């Protein structure tokens, strides 16, 4: 299963980073392509993206784990969510997509690790290396957005 992973140390405490990551309402501010959020609940949320032609595309997720970091950053914060694939247009290409975020205290800041595991279906598996490269770029954009938000004024 192709896994794209990116890490970065950000000069902000884990609890400040968690305040953004732990609340899906903030995703349009930092996750690439998200226009708005819908149906945000404790265990699920919907991201709304737009196609190049301006049509909305909804992606539903359910939260598998959401553990904030401890008061001193130990234990680390951990968040895991899975895209609901079956019955959607994504089912033609994807069998599974799981996003994982880990927050660890690091030298007065926070090391953030984003990982996106995508299991491709059928003939799509031949493009796994291209998907992984594109996904790494998306994760870098997400880290840029997080850094901008939590270290800004």
Name the token pair of 113. 């690790």
| Contact of 56 with 49, CB cutoff 8 Å | yes
- Distance CA(106)–CA(123), nearest Å, equals 42
- Distance CA(50)–CA(31), nearest Å, equals 13
User: Residue 125 — very low, low, confident or very high, per pLDDT cuts 50/70/90?
Assistant: very low
Residue 1 confidence (pLDDT): 62
C-alpha torsion sign, points 115, 119, 120, 126: positive
Mean of per-residue pLDDT scores for the chain: 88
In terms of pLDDT, which residue wins out, 4 or 129?
A: 4
In order of their start, the domains of the chain are 3-151 (3.30.530.20)
Cis? peptide before 75, omega within 30° of 0: yes
Long-range pairs of 130-134 with CB within 8 A, sequence gap ≥ 24: 131/2, 132/2, 132/3, 132/4, 133/4
**Mean pLDDT, to the nearest integer, of 35-50?**
95
Residue 143 confidence (pLDDT): 97
**Mean pLDDT, to the nearest integer, of 66-84?**
88
**Mean pLDDT, to the nearest integer, of 102-117?**
93
Residue 135 confidence (pLDDT): 85
Percent of the chain with pLDDT over 70: 91
Of the chain, the end-to-end C-alpha distance in Å amounts to 39
- Distance CA(62)–CA(60), nearest Å, equals 7
Residue 120 confidence (pLDDT): 83
Percent of the chain with pLDDT over 90: 68
**Mean pLDDT, to the nearest integer, of 66-77?**
84
| Contact of 31 with 45, CB cutoff 8 Å | no
């Amino acid at each position: 299963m192709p896994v794209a992973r990116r890490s970065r140390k950000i000069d902000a405490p884990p609890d400040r980073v968690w305040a953004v990551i732990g609340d899906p309402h903030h995703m349009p501010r930092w996750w690439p392509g998200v226009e708005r959020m819908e149906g945000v609940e404790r265990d699920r949320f919907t991201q709304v993206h737009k196609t190049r032609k301006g049509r909305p595309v909804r992606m539903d997720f359910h939260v598998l784990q959401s553990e904030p970091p401890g008061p001193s950053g130990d234990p680390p914060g951990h968040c895991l969510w899975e895209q609901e694939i079956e019955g959607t247009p994504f089912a033609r290409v994807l069998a599974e997509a799981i996003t994982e975020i880990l927050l660890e205290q690091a030298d007065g800041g926070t090391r953030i690790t984003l990982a996106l595991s995508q299991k491709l279906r059928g003939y799509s598996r031949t493009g796994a290396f291209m998907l992984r490269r594109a996904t790494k770029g998306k994760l870098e954009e997400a880290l840029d957005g997080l850094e901008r938000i939590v270290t800004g004024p």
